[in-house]
Amino acid sequence: MTFAAPLFLLAALAGMIPVFVHLIHRQKARVVHFSTLRFLRISVQRTRRRKYIEDMSLLAVRVAVLLLIALGLARPALSSLATLWGGGRSAAIAIVLDNSASMAVIDGGRPRFETGRQAAEQVLARLRVGDQVALLPTGGPPGPELGRLFRTHETVQQALDQCRPSYERADLAAKLQQARDLLAQADAPSKEIYVLTDDQSLSWEGLKEPAQEDDPKQAKRPAPAPVVIINVDREPAPNVALQTVSLSSPAPVAGVPYQAAALVLNCSSVPQQKHLELQIDGAREAVSPDLSLPPGGTLKYEFRFTLEREGVHRGEVRLVEEDGLALDNRLYFAVSVDQQIPMAIVKAHRGEVPQADDAFYLERAFAPGGSAGGAFRTTTLTPDSLATDDLSTQAVVFCVNLPALAPPAAEKLLAYARSGGHVVWVCGQNVQPDAYNAMNALAQGQLLPAPLEALRQPLPGGVESWRLGFLDKDSPALAPLTEPASLFRSVLVYKYFPMKLSPQAAGRVLIKLDDGQPLLAERAVGTGSVLLLGTGVHVDDWTNLPLKPLFLPLLARLTLHLAGAETGTMGLAGAPVRLPLGRGKVQDQAGEPEVEIVRPSGEVVRFRKADQDADGWRYTGTHEAGVYLVRQVNRKPPKQMAFAVNIDPAESDPATLTQAELQARLGTRPLLFCANPNDLAGTIERLREGTSLWEWFLAAVLIALVLEVFLANRGAAAQAAQARPETSTRPPSLALTSSGPAGAAAPDDVRRFLESLQQNAARPSLRE
């Protein structure tokens, strides 16, 4: 029990006034002995007892009225049994602030986030000395002032002032659980959680159903803290959002055209007219015509551009006109353009006739028309030179129809793959399965995707060849080549080496034959990979693949994909990005950073080798949308790349949860909804100070007053009835008869004496 105005409790002393008044007016009846009235003693005692009860009841009611008025003016409130028994008034409060991208929507003339921030300031303003409070935003970079309970409220206020809407997606279910775990560590008797959000449906996707959260092991846990949901979604302005942007190019080299396709979504219920703009390296490259978007409709528009300069380029597609949400009006992309992609072809010997060379068609595919100015720069190596040549400058190494390598050359290739390189084995008549498997065993099974089996070729009276029956649609390199199916089904294979892939193997099948056997398989090794093509690339008696239209795009796309040069990496804000780094010689200089990342804001973040995890480089600080530049400064030769981070497209979804849906998901937990975020004081007061008892005390006062009036009127009526002259309706107990004849009246003096005695018995004073 708490009192908002405890000084009014002094007014309870007024309850003594009726007692004093009663004692002052107390009278003692005069005793008159009259022997002939002994038969009336029983009636007089009964009347006296009834009058005593009525007097005490009236006195108690009058005292209660004054006490109830005093208690009501003190504004009592009951919050919990702990405070009722003196458990204290300190509180621990967690403020979950939704700062996802959807909170930046203009709603009611201002961003929703500003409405939520003002509501959070109302919560902070209602805190008392000794209260603990924590701020838990749903997105943005972590900070020392976030996610911790503080008794210094100014610290949380400063963190709130620095908080801004992020490009990230909110997970309110995870933040709500984090708030509960945080408050479970506090020793305050009162605990509350305030969630300031626009109740976007996707923000609550992680919330489990109540039936799934009922764990018998958690039955002994204390009751969860009450949750107050403050919804800031009112009247959002119309919004058009850029959803995705995709890049495509025959080869990411200078002078080759690019195509950027942008998908636009009208999130509003009215038609919209918009323009798109393409910018490259900060300069306007192209502008779209008028784009008409129906309510809730989508539209795809394609830009075409050419990059003439090699290096890293920053691209951006933006909506020209402003709308309800500015954060989804821009999408970024990055392109790393090379003058030529370096690659090496290792072959056993060079034939006298070029067309008879095992790698002839492979070399022609990477240099169409024999030109040296294409997208690829090819270096020819031999097995003997592998142990001495520097492979770190090569993006991909093709080993074409080689005998099993000597240990030094095999170790060199394995080290190259582990450090981020890519080795592609191409089979032929020089490949011996037993020798290859022995070489792979010495390399701990990491030099081949899988062990090789004996050569398979058509038998007399059997099938003459096999066709390609499967291309992996999930592979970025092969996905564009899966349609139409006739493009790869026309390829025939006459000889091939089957691969023994076990279910537990780490290999991945990219191409299969129509009999289900793998023809091209891939396995990750360190930060690189090894691949094996089970057939040859010559047209003698192995396959007709070099003569088919699939051959050139297959090799080009596979090489571009392995070299990491197709397009820049794209990620979502808040999600980690895997960086394809590691290939090359790293200088061993103490204290010198290995990798540095330049954020879109210009801030430089440095990483060292110790910051790598088991799978390589992984960057988690993607809280800002834009293009991130990555430099591997301790590498010979130096390497530079870029990746883009964009807003989660789901943040543009206007769907929200209703109070009924949210109540159903949260179950029977204590849950309050604030209808007006601009006036949160009433909800806070009801939660912090408890349920006000003023209305109950007021009702009790009214009931007591009615009862007092009833008792007072009843006593006054009884006195008036007894004070009236004797009539024929006088009670029989007061009538006297004489010993004379029947019906004779008593003497007048006796009658008057009896009337005075009755009046004394009916007085309001107490009698002993």
Residue 575 belongs to domain spanning: 569-646
Task: Give me the pLDDT at residue 208, please.
Answer: 66
Looking at the structure, do residues 263 and 348 belong to the same domain, yes or no?
Answer: no
Strand pairing partners for 125?
Answer: none
Q: Is 129 found in the same domain as 13?
A: no
348 and 376 within one domain: yes
Specify the pLDDT at position 265.
Answer: 95
* pLDDT exceeds 50 at position 82: no
> Is the per-residue pLDDT at 569 higher than 80?
no
Alpha-helical (H) ranges within 74-108 are: 81-84
- The answer to whether position 694 is within a domain reads no
One domain, residues 370 and 491 = yes
Number of domains in the chain: 5
Residue-level pLDDT at 360: 86
Residue 624: predicted pLDDT: 93
443: tokens are 């390399």
The answer to whether 150 and 134 have CB atoms below 8 angstroms apart is yes
Who contacts 85 (Cβ-Cβ below 8 Å, separation ≥6)? none
Of 495, 508, 510, 501, nearest to 557 (Cα)? 510
Residue 469 belongs to domain with CATH number: 3.40.50.880
Among 748, 710, 768, 653, smallest CA distance to 57 is for 710
The tokens for 278 are 């393409």
Angle between helices 41-73 and 694-723 in degrees, nearest 10: 150
Model confidence at 759: pLDDT above 70: no
Say what the pLDDT of residue 262 is: 95
> Measuring CA to CA, which residue among 525, 528, 616, 527 is closest to residue 576?
616
Across 522-534, average pLDDT: 90
Check whether residue 296 and residue 414 sit in a common domain.
no
Domain membership flag for residue 283 = yes
Q: What is the mean pLDDT of residues 23-46?
A: 58
Q: Is residue 46 part of a domain?
A: yes
pLDDT at 31 over 90: no
396 φ, ψ (degrees, to nearest 5) = -140, 145
Examine the domain organization and report whether 357 and 504 are in the same domain.
yes
* Least confident span in 84-93, 409-418, 494-503: 84-93
Cβ atoms < 10 Å from Cβ of 536? 27
Between 613 and 579, where is the model more confident? 579
Question: Both 553 and 441 in a single domain?
Answer: yes
Q: Does 55 map to a domain? A: yes
In-domain check, residue 286: yes
Co-location of 180 and 258 in the same domain = no
Q: Is 337 exposed, middle or buried (0-12, 13-18, 19+ CB in 10 A)?
A: buried
- Assign residue 275 the CATH number of its domain: 2.60.40.10
**pTM value?**
0.66
Instruction: Let me know if residue 733 belongs to a domain.
Output: no
Look at residue 388 in the predicted model and tell me its pLDDT: 85
pLDDT band at 137 (very low <50, low <70, confident <90, very high): very high
pLDDT for 496: 94
Which pLDDT does position 734 carry in this prediction?
Answer: 41
- Considering 9-18, 80-89, 573-582, the range whose residues carry the highest mean pLDDT is 573-582
Is 399 contained in some domain? yes
pLDDT tens digits, 41-80: 555 566 666 677 777 777 777 777 777 777 767 666 665 4
Same domain, residue pair 305 and 375 = no
Q: How many residues does the chain have?
A: 768
Contact criterion met (CB below 8 Å) for 425 and 464: no
Is there a single domain that holds both residue 603 and residue 554?
no
Rounded CA separation 334/292 (Å):
28
Q: Is the dihedral of CA 292, 295, 300, 305 positive or negative?
A: positive
Residue 673 has pLDDT above 60, yes or no: yes
Is 189 found in the same domain as 96?
yes
Mean pLDDT of the chain: 79
Residue 243 to residue 572: CA distance in whole angstroms: 12
CATH code of residue 603: 2.60.40
Task: Decide if pLDDT at 766 tops 90.
Answer: no
Residue 73 is encoded by which pair of tokens? 């003016």
pLDDT at 595: 81
pLDDT of residue 255: 77
Cis peptide before 484 (omega within 30 of 0): yes
pLDDT given for residue 694 in this prediction? 60
| SS3 call for 492 | strand
The tens digit of pLDDT for each residue in 310-364 reads 788 999 999 999 999 999 999 999 987 766 788 899 988 766 667 778 888 888 8
**CA–CA gap between residue 624 and residue 639 (Å, rounded):** 23
The 10s digit of each residue's pLDDT in 224-233 is 788 899 999 9
The answer to whether residue 590 scores a pLDDT higher than 90 is no
Residue 672 pLDDT greater than 60, yes or no: yes
**pLDDT of the residue at 10:** 67
Residues 559 and 376: beta-carbon distance below 8 Å: yes
256-273: pLDDT as tens digits: 788 899 999 999 999 999
Q: How confident is the model at residue 737 (pLDDT cuts 50, 70, 90)?
A: very low
pLDDT above 90: percentage of residues in the chain: 37
The pLDDT value given to residue 25: 62
Which of 72-86, 397-411, 611-625, 705-719 is the most confident on average? 397-411
Same domain (yes/no): 356, 495? yes
In a domain, 734, yes or no: no
**Comparing 170-174, 297-301, 382-386, 721-725, which segment has the lowest mean pLDDT?**
721-725
